[in-house]
Chain A
Amino acid sequence: MVGAYIIAQFQFGPDQASSLAGQVDALFLTLLAITGTILALVAVTILYCLARYRRNAQVDRTPIPDSSLPLETAWTVIPMFIFLGMFGWGATLYFKKNQSPSNATEIYVIGKQWMWKVQHLQGKREINELHVPVGRTIRLIMTSQDVIHDFFLPAFRVKQDVLPGTYTTQWFAGTKTGSFPIFCAQYCGTYHANMIGQVIVQTPQDYEEWLSSGTTEPAMALSGANLFRSLGCSGCHAVNASVRAPLLNNLYGSPVPLQNGQVVTADERYIRDSILQPELQIAAGYDPIMPSFKDRVSEEELTQLISYIKSLSKSTDR
């Protein structure tokens, strides 16, 4: 009874709750097998030599050469190939983890000392909790209001630093319902250890129900559209405006030629930078006349504005 209780305390791996989890564990176990074998071989050889060639033992000690090029080459080249294999496999997973998936449900996350603020496109907000439907690919668009944080989901085998002043993204797809921990993995000050929460993976029906429960707020794009008017953006970025400014229809995801000849893709970071530091990247053919909205919009309002501008693009699946 006590024994069973004690054994139950030992857990050898975290939950596997995402499509990526099994793949990361497979690589981990393979590396464990390879390195474990090499470590065991080295240990056995050492222990064998220590026992057999102890000082007083009467054994064959005919000197061997001091060095051997074939041997050195072998234990340089063979590990190198094994390492290259590990590199390739690890990099493949990483590229997969960093590829922006199409058809993802987007959710905005803002970190601050010491909580996670989440807003869904439909307008629903939550703190230190993240409700998602099972089986659906979720793309998190994350930023920080103060220091660097890190949104770590061990059961999904993903983490990503959350930086102030820019957006980072990560995606995952939950494969089973339940609640799984969120940890802040980047030290962020006194109550770093309290910056934890739960991902609640629900059936799509439960998720829909949850979205429409409680106090409802306008969808993020709608809040953004209101801000777009109240901040005066629409005064210039409109067809019949008196000032010539780029139209934002179909902007998101499209290439933008800049005045300096560069071409950038209009992603969340570009739109954010253009609102806060419009002088940095001037769209080709336009005058640098836009004022900065730094300190005039909060991080939440920025995500709503971006969400609105993105909704003006037909091409993206929302």
Chain B
Amino acid sequence: MINGLEVIEVENITRRGSYLTDTGLGSWLFTTDHKRIGLLYLFTIIFFFSIAAVAAAAMRLNLLTPRGDLVQAETYNKLFTLHGVLMVWFFLIPSIPSVLGNFLVPLMIGARDLAFPKLNLLSWYLFVIGGLVALYALLVGGVDTGWTFYTPYSSTYSNTHVVIMALGIFISGFSSILTGLNFIATIHKMRAPGITWFRLRLFLWSLYATSVILVLATPVLAILLCLLAVERVFGVGVFNPALGGDPLLFQHLFWFYSHPAVYIMVLPGMGVVSELVSAFSRKRVFGYKFVAFASMAIALLGFLVWGHHMFVAGQSVYSAATFSILSYLVAVPSAIKVFNWTTTLYRGSIRLDTPMLYAVGFIGLFAAGGMTGLFLAALGIDVHVHDTYFVIAHFHYIMVGGMVTAFMGGLHFWWPKITGRLYPEFFGKLAAIIMFIGFNLTFFPQFLLGYLGMPRRYHAYPDQFQVYNVLSTAGASILGVGYLMPLIYLIWSVKYGKKAGPNPWDAKGFEWETDSPPPTHNFEVIPVQIEDPYNYPPIS
């Protein structure tokens, strides 16, 4: 580029400013800018994550001793309910879709905003209102049913604020639905010229699959919560057999939403990892179409496996067998993804910057989590480990080892784009390694605990389980340090980090062709996609 032109370019940027230039409170609360809404979500979910993490810390401390000396049984039950509800509905589900997805979907497809910017702002408000209602349930005394709300305990026997908590989740569900609708409409209708379906970034494929689940599954949750409230408040028998209801009906409906929701909580992470693996090995993701279709296959098959949560609940052996074989089928596309990411590395030009450390960590931890899922899908083994710490360890490997690791990787990767500043690389790597070690020390012992037979949701436990609980608590304290570090250095970097420039990673994609941070309307001129995505030049 000629020097003179570059100068003009810089002046232009200064004059028009970025999406962050306006600082008034009103400019944030009434914004329809997808990038700002993404940041609003980021602040909100960090707030909920912190509360849920404190609850987890209190639980782990309580479990240091077999008697459960720190808190009362009643308090412990409220802690794990709070931890589950907040982490699932107010952190994991909105984490990558609502933060990174909001920020990146228009940038990646060369649009100036999402299809429905005002609806997008409404989603955030519904999310905040839902979250505040859930916190209100906490402040007036909490809920002790577990995040699964199994009936008839939740509908009849619990003396806690079940209906308020359910209302909070109900409201936030509409936020999920609106976000899903917005992404589907945007990806269908607003792609820049040249972006055919098979030139769509893999992150967008994964978000598309996620959005389908958000739109189709969340209404079932809403209906379920209404039925629960109707039985609890008016005594209409739906789930309680004493009133003529069926307790298993609740579980069927709950898992018909909540199992697909598990994929809401991991598919976007897979999308992020596809982007990271490609950018840091400077290669097109191997088997692009297979990775894209694997996302869709997971989304669709994910609707057919809910019964694997009920193998010991009293369903017939034939439905159990059907759900078991379908659960094995849904594992196939996940395996395909792992193999394709691994092959992408072959003959790449690999840099192990912080985001890539997270991506590699994701592949390992997700694979471990997925493979322990194969144990749980095996009917004969599930009978033994169902409702034990084996299950806890398994889904934390997917949710934390997978989704949270991918979220951290994505946050570091796009941080220069979001803020215009680089984070400190040394501390970034250090935090990633500390998190990996802390995570494994926290959750690996729980596999052993589970196979030994320690049931979940126990406030106190027999002495024989103590040694693994101590290890797990020790790991949790390391994990806590790992989470605090980015909170500190990322905030520091907003002011003191090095200026990033438009494309610090020398990565491919529309988001790297605009300024960092991007101008309010993303692009001066709508870009045109003239090649396949990830079309990195040959290395040698």
- In the assembly, what is the distance between CA of A262 and CA of B231, in Å? 32
Give CA–CA (A31, B372) in the complex, Å: 9
Hey, which chain A residues are within 8 Å of B434, CB to CB? none
Residues of chain B within 8 A of A10, CB atoms compared: 467-468
Q: How many A-B residue pairs have CB under 8 A?
A: 262
User: Are B455 and A152 in touch, CB under 8 angstroms?
Assistant: yes
B residues less than 8 Å from A113 (CB atoms): 157
Residue of A nearest to B380 (CB): A93
Interface check B430, CB cutoff 8 A = no
Query: B325's contact among A61, A87, A148, A160, by CB below 8 Å, is which?
Result: A87
Residues in B with CB closer than 8 Å to A154 are: 384, 452-453
Which of B287, B348, B540 has a CB less than 8 Å from the CB of A67? B287
Residues in A with CB closer than 8 Å to B247 are 148, 163-165
The distance in angstroms between the C-alpha atoms of A150 and B247, with both chains bound, is 14
Closest-CB distance, A200 to chain B (whole angstroms): 16
- Check B384–A192 contact: CB distance below 8 A: no
Q: Are B290 and A61 in contact (CB under 8 A)?
A: no
Give per-residue flags for A62-82: 1 if the beta carbon is below 8 A from chain B beta carbons, else 0.
111011100110011001100
1/0 per residue B294-330: CB within 8 Å of A? 0000000000000000011110010011001100110
Q: Is the CB–CB distance between B321 and A91 below 8 Å?
A: yes
B336 within 8 Å of A (CB atoms)? yes
Task: Check A55/B351 contact, CB under 8 A, given A42-B342, A83-B331, A154-B452.
Answer: yes
**In the assembly, what is the distance between CA of A98 and CA of B317, in Å?**
7
Instruction: Return the chain B residue nearest A35 by Cβ.
Output: B371
> When the two chains form their complex, are residues A90 and B146 in contact, meaning their CB atoms are under 8 A apart?
no
Q: Is the interface of B mostly helix, strand, loop or mixed?
A: helix
Tell whether B523 is near chain A: CB-to-CB under 8 Å. Answer: no
The complex places the Cα of A46 from the Cα of B289 at a distance, in Å, of 22
On whether A166 and B314 interact (CB within 8 A), knowing A67-B289, A71-B343, A146-B157, the answer reads yes
Residues of B within 8 A of A183 (CB): 453, 455
B residues less than 8 Å from A35 (CB atoms): 371-372, 374-375
State the CA gap A90–B73 with chains docked (Å). Answer: 36
Asked if residues B144 and A189 are in contact (CB atoms below 8 Å), the reply is yes
Are B387 and A185 closer than 8 Å at their CB atoms? yes
A43 within 8 A of B: yes
B350 at the interface (CB under 8 A from A): yes
Whether the Cβ atoms of A55 and B350 lie closer than 8 Å is yes
Q: Are A11 and B381 in contact (CB under 8 A)?
A: no
Contacts of A248 in B (CB 8 A): none
Instruction: List chain A residues, Cβ under 8 A from B144.
Output: 189-190
Give the CA-CA distance A225 to B147 in the complex, in Å: 45
A192: shortest Cβ distance to chain B, in Å?
Answer: 6
In this assembly, does A259 line the interface, its C-beta being within 8 Å of a C-beta of chain B? Answer: no
Pairwise interchain contact B539-A67, C-beta atoms closer than 8 A: no
Binds A, one of B44-52, B99-107, B123-131, B458-466: B458-466
Within 8 A of A (CB), among B217-243: 240-242
* Contacts of A116-160 to chain B: CB distance below 8 A: 146-148, 150, 152, 154-155, 157-160
Of the four ranges (under 10, 10 to 19, 20 to 34, 35 or more), the interface on chain B belongs to 35 or more
- Confirm or deny: B16 has a beta carbon within 8 angstroms of a beta carbon on chain A: no
- The proximity string for B residues 508-540 relative to A, scoring 1 for CB distances below 8 Å and 0 otherwise, is 000000000000000000000000000000111
Complex interface: chain A residues within 8 A of B460 (CB):
193-194
Cα distance A11–B350 when bound, in Å?
41
Q: Give the residues from 251 to 289 in chain B that come closer than 8 angstroms, CB to CB, to chain A.
A: 281, 284, 286-289
The listed residue (B74, B240, B317, B352) touching A94 by CB distance below 8 A is B317
* A92 neighbours in B (Cβ, 8 Å): 380
A298 at the interface (CB under 8 A from B): no
Q: Is B349 an interface residue (CB 8 A)?
A: yes
With A148-B247, A163-B314, A193-B461 as known contacts, state yes or no: A87 contacts B360, CB within 8 Å.
no
Q: In the complex, what's the smallest C-beta–C-beta distance from A132 to chain B, in angstroms?
A: 18
Known contacts A49-B342, A94-B311, A166-B241; is A83 also within 8 Å of B332 by CB? yes
What 1/0 mask marks residues of chain B from 405 to 444 whose CB sits below 8 Å from any chain A CB? Answer: 0000000000000000000000000000000000000000
Contacts of B386 in A (CB 8 A): 159, 185
Q: Which residues of A contact B342 (CB under 8 A)?
A: 42, 45-46, 49
Q: Is the CB of B374 within 8 A of A42?
A: no
Considering the chains assembled together, what is the distance between the CA atoms of A189 and B143 in angstroms?
A: 11
Is there contact, CB below 8 Å, between B157 and A189? yes
- B288, B352, B458, B462: the one contacting A50 at CB < 8 Å is B352
Q: Determine the chain A residues whose CB is within 8 A of the CB of B289 once the complex forms.
A: 67
B346 at the interface (CB under 8 A from A): yes
**Interchain CA distance A249-B458 in the complex, whole Å:** 46
CB of B335 closer than 8 Å to a CB of A: yes
Known: A164-B241, A183-B455. A97 touches B150 (CB 8 A): no
Q: Is A214's CB within 8 Å of the partner chain B?
A: no
The yes or no answer to A317 lying at the interface (CB within 8 A) is no
A/B interface sample: 13 pairs, CB < 8 A: A39-B367, A55-B350, A67-B287, A68-B287, A75-B339, A80-B328, A84-B328, A93-B379, A93-B381, A94-B321, A146-B157, A147-B157, A154-B453
Q: A53-B346, A76-B332, A97-B380 are in contact. List 5 more A-B contacts (CB 8 A).
A: A24-B383, A53-B281, A53-B349, A94-B320, A154-B452
